Amino acid sequence: MSLEQAEPVRQALWARRKMPEPPLEARREGFEAQMSAVPLPAGFSAQTVSINDNVSGLLCSVESVDKSRVLIWLHGGAFVLGSANSYRPMAARLARAANAQVLLVDYRLAPEHPFPAAPEDAAAALDWAVREGFHPQATFVGGDSAGANLALGAVQAATARVESSPVGGVWMISPYLDLTHSGASIEQRAARDPFIDPAGMGDTARRYLGSITPADPRASPLFGSFANFPPTIIQTGGDEVLFSDAARARDAIEAEGVRCVFQEWAGMIHVWPLFAHQIDEGAWAIEQGGAFLRTL
């Protein structure tokens, strides 16, 4: 059963929490090594593309996807780690599920490049899709954890410029949207979440934000405008301290009369679809998120 499959991941995460945090470069190297061990499917391809002078990405595909469709994906990693290369296994699953090419954005990471570097790179990826000739209704934007923050912010910024949705839909997994950390679930679900330690969340935000206040809606897009927002799917684990971020985003989207599919996955941890090669419910969540985008 999937909950039994998740248990070794849980235990490994709890054990890691008891150890001193390694230097950032070691964390980055460890994550890259971990993800490089995940096998890629036959028929997977990826080519490097230039998004602008500051950022590149990997345009990923699997056999038989509709190449007139593109899903721009912003990876997670607390704004400080992760890469397009490490997310290739995830992109393979996303592409097959959504029947679209997937652009993995290698946005600039903090603390070397604090806010607003990453949001600027996310916005540039939407501009890239326009230049490449993708129709707005065949362009989708998504992300997990901190990447969902960047995805949401990019869509809000683009929508504010043109007063209409620049994309056909949005897909957020375990979104981290409120850097003021005001969500009730941070305290209520702390004992259930092996992935995120609330005690370290303040440092995470400061490392990314620099001198910017965490309440700034460009940094915490939960507080931004959802007017003219496109149809959205939000998936969150039932044991996440960030559950309130996901639920409040749903409420804000629905308040604008926009379709929002909200899925709480019982017993699941933060960004469990990243472990789809180990946990059945990770694969199922990706299949359902992709199915939603295929309806748009």
Q: Which residues are catalytic?
A: 145, 240, 270
In order of 162, 257, 259, the CA distances from 228 in angstroms are 10, 9, 11
Residue 232 parent element (H or E): strand 232-237
Distance from C-alpha of 36 to C-alpha of 33, rounded to nearest angstrom:
5
As given in the structure block, the two tokens for residue 117 are 């570097």
Nearest C-alpha neighbor of 81 from the set 60, 54, 108: 108
In order of 17, 78, 190, 194, 278, the CA distances from 10 in angstroms are 11, 19, 14, 6, 12
Distance from C-alpha of 117 to C-alpha of 153, rounded to nearest angstrom:
13
Residue 143 parent element (H or E): strand 139-144
As given in the structure block, the two tokens for residue 296 are 């748009």
Report the 10 Å Cβ neighbour count for 148: 32
Burial, 131: exposed, middle or buried (Cβ in 10 Å; 0-12, 13-18, 19+)? exposed
39 three-state secondary structure: coil
In order of 48, 76, 87, 134, 171, the CA distances from 55 in angstroms are 11, 16, 16, 19, 22
Distance from C-alpha of 72 to C-alpha of 127, rounded to nearest angstrom:
11
As given in the structure block, the two tokens for residue 169 are 């839909």
